[in-house]
Amino acid sequence: MAVVFISYRRKDSGGHAGRLHEELVRCYGREAVFMDIDSLRGGVEFRERIHQALDASDTALVLIGEAWTAPTGDGETPRRIDREDDLVRREVAAALEHEEVAVVPVLVEGANLPSAEELPEDLESLRGLHVCQLRNSDWKSDVRRITRAIDSANAPSGMSRLTRGLRQHPRRVAGALGLIAVLAVLAVVALASGGSDGGGEGCENQFIAKDARTELADAAGSPQPAEEGTVYYGTCGSKAYALASFPDGSDGVFIQSGLHWVDLGPIAAEKCARVPPELLEIWKQDDC
């Protein structure tokens, strides 16, 4: 199933889209990245395939270059984006309609996000979204920021993933409802026994790997590694957590998702809500 959907115009940002596609394939795997030139096959109805891909996606990257809203050149309409049959418009509108898909406008080589007046009504909500940049001159750092946005969207709640699966496979509803009932019973038992996130699974402090400070900086968007002596890193069962501070005065709570760290927010705001109490006690950070 795709988790990343890439929308682009070939004449506008085709080269950047292809290069970004390969970066994301290396990071997440070929089956986890959808781009029409690579994923569409002959005989597959375009609209149906797009909706199938979006149903399975957590993130839609909308690549916008200088020619994204350029005229068609056919004399019928001044701009492609104004045409209801424009494939890019269809893709983006469909992505914006999917409530569980995080849409990220990606501005290519310094392009500006179109104004509300420049966008058709069904695309106007692009204006309210957080944007990323994609520039050859800052390729590595821009790709890191894009993967952070993907990682944040790629870790929805278990219930979110379950409801998405039910939409795609309605015959599994009965089995899923049974599973929910079992999980509910287990949750009640865990609460009754005083369990918490990570509790009962065994929490322990972990050695700070050589690259951990840089990896946490990448997740936080900090230009410098986390400061020595400020990183707390540990695990509870299968989950890895970290606290870290950075030279620019920022700090964060992090959880590991796959091979990447995800920034959950500032320590003061998120520590007590996100990190299991047992691990905070081990770190001597249990002043909640």
- 258 pLDDT band (50/70/90 cuts)? confident
Q: Which residues pair with 97 in a beta bridge?
A: none
193 or 241, which is more confident: 241
Question: Looking at residues 202-214, what average pLDDT do you find?
Answer: 82
Residue 249: Cβ within 10 Å count: 6
Alpha-carbon span 266 to 282, nearest angstrom: 20
CA angle 227, 252, 131 (to 5 degrees): 110
The number of angstroms, rounded, from the C-alpha of 65 to the middle of its chain's C-alpha atoms is 21
User: Could you tell me the pTM of the whole model?
Assistant: 0.55
Q: What percent of the chain has pLDDT over 90?
A: 42
Within 162-250, strands assigned E span 203-205, 232-236, 239-245
The ranges assigned to domains in the chain are 4-153, 158-192, 203-283
Question: Looking at residues 71-93, what average pLDDT do you find?
Answer: 80
DSSP calls for 74-99: SSS-S-GGGSTT-HHHHHHHHHHH-T
What integer best gives the mean pLDDT of the chain? 79
- 139 pLDDT band (50/70/90 cuts)? very high
Residue burial 21-42, b: 16+ Cβ < 10 Å; e: rest: bebbbebbeeebbbbbeebeee
Q: What is the CATH number of domain 4-153?
A: 3.40.50.10140
pLDDT surpassing 80 at residue 251: yes
Per-residue pLDDT tens digits for 183-201: 444 443 333 333 334 444 6
Alpha-carbon span 91 to 39, nearest angstrom: 14
Alpha-carbon span 57 to 44, nearest angstrom: 18
